[in-house]
Structure 1
Amino acid sequence: MSISKEAKLKEINAVCKNTLMETLEISISDFGDDYLIAKMPVNSRVYQPDGVLHGGATAALAESVGSFASHLFSNLDVVFVRGTEITANHLKSVTDGHVFAKATFLHKGRTTQLIDIRVTDDHDNLISVCRLSTISLPRKK
């Protein structure tokens, strides 16, 4: 019997307890065969001093969704996944609402993965474009 999408989302989000994702209120909201989407509220907890979304919070959102995508699409009984590099280009400011990060694979290799992450706001405006590299390393037996 396969697990429902809603049950899988609940399972995924449950592992975020006591992590940066919980602190920033990041939650995984959707996934499919080749993508994963997370959302984060934009409020004073993620502002920079002038009252707009902090680029570091955006990068944390992007790395979280990209890393989760690598985990979700890997055999974690055999490998563990770590991020190796992230880049972020911030294009527009946000002061309220939510931001959504959609991770899709540009390269899904056995050892290395390259993930494109597009961050948008509630009105589907492009806020940031990020790239995350991850590596899958063998688990010790």
Structure 2
Amino acid sequence: MSTSSIWHGQVPPSVLTEMSRGSLIETLGIEVTGIMPDSLHGRMPVDARTTQPAGVLHGGASVAFAETLTSVAGFLAVDRNRFHVVGLEINANHVRPVSDGWVHGEARALSLGRSIQVWEVRITDEDGRLVCISRCTLAVLATPSRY
């Protein structure tokens, strides 16, 4: 088993949380919960901030969660003194409703190119059942990170 990592340097989850203060990420209650050698993990509450009027997780909240995880992952995967990542495209398939608790997300790189990154995010409920599957494409810009 390889111990190599896709990340450029180390940034603890607590620093990522602090960077999110005053943003949509904080408003939705999104948290980074783990940085593994080849994936980023997070969670988001299913509550009044993230549900639709029918009482289940809003698809837009799932997309915001997925894009947050991929943006953070992209940020961690580049030399932040030289590069900044921005979202280009995101899609999502919502496969199961959730009405309470937490959803958990795992972002994994499908491709880490010099100018484009492609990530997949699997969002699951507390029982590990698939809620949403998303793919996000990020552009890697040759400018220092703004985060």
Range class of TM-score, shorter chain = over 0.9
1:45 CA displacement: 1.5
1:99 CA displacement: 0.4
**2:110 aligned with 1:106, yes or no?**
yes
Aligned residue identity for 1:19:
S
Say how many residue pairs are matched: 135
Correspondent of 1:11 among 11, 15, 19: 15
**2:73 aligned with 1:69, yes or no?**
yes
Cα distance in 1 between the residues matched to 2:48 and 2:99: 9
Which position in structure 2 is the counterpart of 1:22?
26
TM-score, scaled to structure 1: 0.93
Aligned residue identity for 1:86:
I
**2:133 aligned with 1:121, yes or no?**
no
SS of equivalent residue, structure 1 residue 130: strand
Structure 1 runs of 4+ with >6 Å offset? none
**2:41 aligned with 1:37, yes or no?**
yes
TM-score, scaled to structure 2: 0.89
SS of equivalent residue, structure 2 residue 97: coil
**2:100 aligned with 1:96, yes or no?**
yes
